[in-house]
Amino acid sequence: MTATTDGSTGAASPSRLTAASEHDTDSPEAAGVPDIAAHAVRRATDFLLSRQHDEGWWKGDLETNVTMDAEDLLLRQFLGIRDEDVTRAAALFIRGEQREDGTWATFHGGPGELSTTIEAYVALRLAGDAPDAEHMAKASAWIREQGGIAASRVFTRIWLALFGWWKWEDLPELPPELIWFPTWMPLNIYDFGCWARQTIVPLTVVSAKRPVRPAPFPLDELHTDPSDPNPPRPLAPAHTWDGAFQRLDKGLHALRRAVPRRLRRAAMNAAARWIIERQENDGCWGGIQPPAVYSVIALHLLGYDLKHPVMRAGLESLDRFAVWREDGARMIEACQSPVWDTCLATIALADAGVPADHPQLVKAADWMLGEQVVRPGDWSVRRPHLPPGGWAFEFHNDNYPDIDDTAEVVLALRRVRHHDPERLDNAIGRGVRWNLGMQSRNGAWGAFDVDNTSPFPNRLPFCDFGEVIDPPSADVTAHVVEMLAVEGLAQDPRTRRGVEWLLAEQEPDGSWFGRWGVNYIYGTGSVVPALTAAGIPTSHPAIRRAVAWLEKVQNEDGGWGEDLRSYRYAKEWSGRGASTASQTAWALMALLAAGERDSAAVERGVAWLADTQREDGSWDEPYFTGTGFPWDFSINYHLYRQVFPLTALGRYVHGEPFAAKPAEVTAGSGQALAEAKGS
């Protein structure tokens, strides 16, 4: 068996495509661009096939930033379970991510970030690093220059409050009575995006309890004035939304003392039931690390000891987020992405020419079919009569299937010739029906919920980090539209509403904003293939504007890249950055869909991918091209650098997917799809 980068095992080489090495004796350097591309496709195909797990899935590491590692250590310190081996390995990773100026960034090549640097510093203090060590002194001096702990975000100060390094009284109030707000009431928990909802509910318990564990050391060196560590924050004018919510928070602080104890206890118990009901079979919550961490803390504060089955399963699930590296360092993933990685890998391999009945594609399809979510989750609060049928992002997350994943899984399954076509068709039909039912009022799609667009959650003083709502986005909408077109629903009124929304969302320069990938290149790379699949002609002005923009932002080396700063400084950074394999692939996917196969831009992009491919068929990509929260929380999906270049090169070599066989695309998809078409 062959080992993957994350320690799993892949299929042995005999199961790879036998044709993959047919022309490997050719010299790519002396060949034309089509031959170079074909050579790169063969090598990339072999590489990706070798990385499949025995069970049928693919999963690359999901790299974020060191706050995951720091908070993991702080959790273990809070619970009294921190051990030296884990601490040493975590500290090794955190030290390795420190920049020359003493700071820590949230993405490769990015600027130092205050809260991230504070949390990393505290974690290294837990690991025994002395405050006067050179790397620590650099960090603390920079932290003071930026305003110290007082200037950090709320989440950082909550972690510090757990150990008395910050006053609970100086944090926004989160009353647990929120759990009782009806869905029609502003600021009910379902007004928040699912990731925020899962975090806020346990934090209401933590906020109500205000626990403090003895601090193992002081942090005076992180305050601008240690004699006044908790300076008051200025109030915004009362007539502004920010000012109004700040005053509301002051009122909640005063109300805290008046809430009857029995009422508060009942609210916390209701929150605990809500948390436990949403624990997944693997012990995690939502398949993501932050809600799991806060859920464990909240339940522990309510009397659940560490040997309780809920707590034991929760802690075991957190251990599974750890990636142990060859140098002994330990990195914590914020999440794991097997469904997403597997459907993208299946699409890439199929578009690269792997036969539809290849055993490894069939195995991947079998695994994806087994991951379909067939029970209601939180999404059904807004859609109580919609039958389930989506797919989640993670191994276990039945409460929160993902609209984007569902669309891409359907596109992947449709590329496989399965031994049980009725089972496959019925699963696809359920997924299509669920996605159609999750369309928002404006005709577009968000990631997890319907019409999750309340303007109030982002105004709360508590919500000073990242997105807390889940409005529709161009990239998710595009993937759903593309999937519906492939399923023969291009002319369905619901698909046309999605198309109209996408056309209206195009930026003046011809690009589209990418919510879940960086950024305008990702948005454009998602939307153009969707529009053309849905019947928009390549001569349409929107398509031509997109092509012109992509040609304009192509780098001198022939690739494309975009820095995450485009989320904050759009004009200066839109489509600008060092060339990366994944972003070059997204640009090529758009240009190929727009009919630009023979253009100079495409040839230069294809040549760049071929030139930067490593000997083993893979690509290197230290840059972060994925997004959790635009700008605030960035992701390096380690499989993006493999699946997207192979998809783009495969489409360059073999043509656009499904273009030659439309009859197969629009074939019947079972009873569920028939119902979706008629609903």
Q: Which residue has tokens 């702990």?
A: 149
**Inter-helix orientation angle 359-370/421-437, to 10°:** 50
Phi-psi region of 65 (alpha: psi -120 to 50; beta: other; left: phi over 0): beta
Residue 662 DSSP class: H
Rg of the chain over all Cα atoms, to the nearest angstrom: 25
Half-sphere exposure of 602 (CA within 13 A, CB side): 20
Rounded Cα–Cα distance for residues 678 and 664 (Å): 20
Catalytic residue among 398, 404, 492, 632: 404
- Asked if 404 is an active-site residue, the reply is yes
Q: Which residue has tokens 């757990």?
A: 162
Q: If DSSP codes are grouped into helix, strand and coil, which group holds residue 422?
A: helix
Burial tier of 368 (Cβ tally within 10 Å: 0-12, 13-18, 19+): buried
Rounded Cα–Cα distance for residues 20 and 544 (Å): 36
Name residues whose C-beta falls within 8 Å of residue 504's C-beta, 6 or more positions apart in sequence: none
Half-sphere exposure of 453 (CA within 13 A, CB side): 11
Are 413 and 369 spatial neighbours (Cβ–Cβ below 8 Å)? yes
CA-to-CA dists, residue 601 to 21, 531, 616, angstroms: 28, 21, 26
- Residue 588: count of CB within 10 angstroms of its CB: 30
For 211-244, letters b (16+ CB in 10 Å) and e give: eeeeeeeebebbbbeeeebeeeeeeeeeeeeeee
Rounded Cα–Cα distance for residues 481 and 485 (Å): 6
Are 443 and 454 spatial neighbours (Cβ–Cβ below 8 Å)? no
Bridge partners (DSSP) listed for residue 9: 3
- Residue 11: count of CB within 10 angstroms of its CB: 19
Rounded Cα–Cα distance for residues 572 and 578 (Å): 14
Q: If DSSP codes are grouped into helix, strand and coil, which group holds residue 331?
A: strand
Are 343 and 405 spatial neighbours (Cβ–Cβ below 8 Å)? yes
Q: Which residue has tokens 């031959």?
A: 35
Q: If DSSP codes are grouped into helix, strand and coil, which group holds residue 660?
A: coil
For the four alpha carbons of 563, 567, 572 and 576, in that order, the dihedral sign comes to: positive
Q: Which residues are catalytic?
A: 404
